[in-house]
Each structure stands twice: as structure tokens, then as C-alpha cells.
Amino acid sequence: MKKPIATPSRTKEILETHGMFAKKNYGQNFLIESGIVDKIARHAVLSDHCVVFEIGPGIGALTQYLCEYAKKVVSFEIDERLPDVLADTLQEYDNFELVMSDFLEIDLKEWCRTYRKEGYDVVIAANLPYYITTPILFKIFESKADVAAITVMMQKEVADRFAAEVNTKDYNALSIITQYRCEVTPVMKVPKNVFLPKPNVDSAVLQFRFRDTPQNIEEESFFSLVKACFRQRRKTILNNYGEYCQDKQQARAELEKSGIDCTRRAESVTLAEFINLYEVHRNESKSTCEN
């Protein structure tokens, strides 16, 4: 590597050379601490036989380190100003490919299949803007693409919800739905003063790895049940679940059969307990239909 991009002086030099500024509507904040970028890249690239799909390379600060450690880096970008910038900042790397496409619109499963057929592991890395964090992650989760790991930086308060443990203030339906699909591992906290321009909030890096999910769960129904139980957070699970069932007595019976005390709140219910409740509800509904 000739010179790290993620320093205050180099970042300012690149922006001035190319007459660029950070676009708020793209959520652009450029990392200016190379040690942090290096750590993110080392976590993201599982081996030197990885192909990395990067979402939004910016001026190439993270991309540069990904190129150092991975077999190939394919970066998806929508900002039309950046091809010329990246051709300059990443000119020393022949394992970098820029794709000018909206990541939300690509066929991720097909992209993964292409590289998996060649024997490569595929990982995803990104510094995600707040406004698009959840849509991008859910696109990846719902694609069921053959991705070995997803390592992303996001606003810290959003990261806290994805990684939240039961009986904490951040634990909600998003926590359950994400942890049903993935193992979620906090990698590091990133203070707001290592960005240019400086955002209003701190960030955090999480890594997601897909779990083997139960084959007998209809996910849309399960997620609807979980969301319903968190609908009014201060209500007991009986009140929320009763509204979901449209029958409080039925809800009470199913909760009791699941071993969940009706006076508890959803934030105290584990993923395993929610799965058990879903299975009880499904079996009771099936039994009612048959009778």
C-alpha cells in the first residue's frame, strides 16, 4: 500500500483534487483513521481466498484495505462522481472492480453464485448510511444468498438494537428477527470524531453470519407474531398477543402452553421462547381448522 486514504490530510487532498464534497443525501462521512479501517477489513476478509462485495466504497478508504487482504473486491456504487476518484485512489490494485449499480436492485444470489462456482467464499463489507442500513441488511438476509459473513459499520444505536440481548432496553422485534437468521457479533465501537465531516452520533461495527434456521417455520407468520408482541412495549405479552390472536382467552392458553407467564413483557422473552410460542400457535390454529 503506497499511502493510506483514511487520514485527515489524504482525505482532504483527494476531495480537493476532485472538487468533491460529502453528499448528505447519500449519507457520506469519510473515515479518517487508518487503524480503524484496517481492523474492519481484517474482520471482514475471512481468508485471502475471499471475494468481497463492498456496498458504497466512497473514495476508497475501506476498499484499499479490503484489496490488500482479499482475492478480489467488487464495489457497488451509485454516486456518479466516484468512478474517476476511485480510478485515481485505487490505481495500484488490479483486484478491484467497480459496479455502478444500486445494491438494493442487484440479484445478490446470482452474483454470489458466480464466484462460489469458481470456489471463492463471498463476504460483504460496508460503511452503511443510517437511512439505508435496515433495507440493505434485510435485502441480504432475505436473499438467502451464499454469503459467509457480513461485516458492516452503522449508527451505534441501530447496532445496539441488532445485537441486543434479552431483558435490555434495546431488545425488540428487530433483535429477534435478526438473531433468528444470524449470529450477531459486535466488532468495535467507532467514535464520531474519526469521520469527515463529523456526524452527530457514534458508530459501531457488527458481523453477521447466517444460522441454519428451522425448516418448519413460515418466516412471515413468525415475524408478524414477534412484531405484534412488541407493538406496545409497556403492555404485558398477554395484552399484545391477545390483540394478535383477536381472542384473549386463546392467547392466555397458548402462552401458558408455551411456558410463558402472561404477566411478562416481550422484552423478557427469548428467541427460543418465541419459536416455541409460534409452534404452539400454529398447531392450535391447525387443530381448530381441522375441527
Q: Report the SS3 class of residue 69.
A: helix
CA distance 206 to 84: 30
Residue 275: name the closest of 185, 211, 213 by CA.
213
Q: Is 31 annotated as a binding residue?
A: yes
Q: Is 271 annotated as a binding residue?
A: no
CA distance 64 to 149: 19
Q: Is 29 annotated as a binding residue?
A: yes
Please report, for residues 127, 145, 181, 199, 222, the alpha-carbon distance to residue 210 in angstroms, rounded to integers and kept in the order given: 20, 10, 6, 30, 18
Q: Is 77 annotated as a binding residue?
A: yes
DSSP 19: T
Burial 229-244 (b: 16+ CB within 10 A, else e): bbeeeebbbbbbbbbb
Would you list which residues are annotated within the binding site? Answer: 29, 31, 56, 77, 102, 127
Would you list which residues are annotated within the binding site for S-adenosyl-L-methionine? Answer: 29, 31, 56, 77, 102, 127
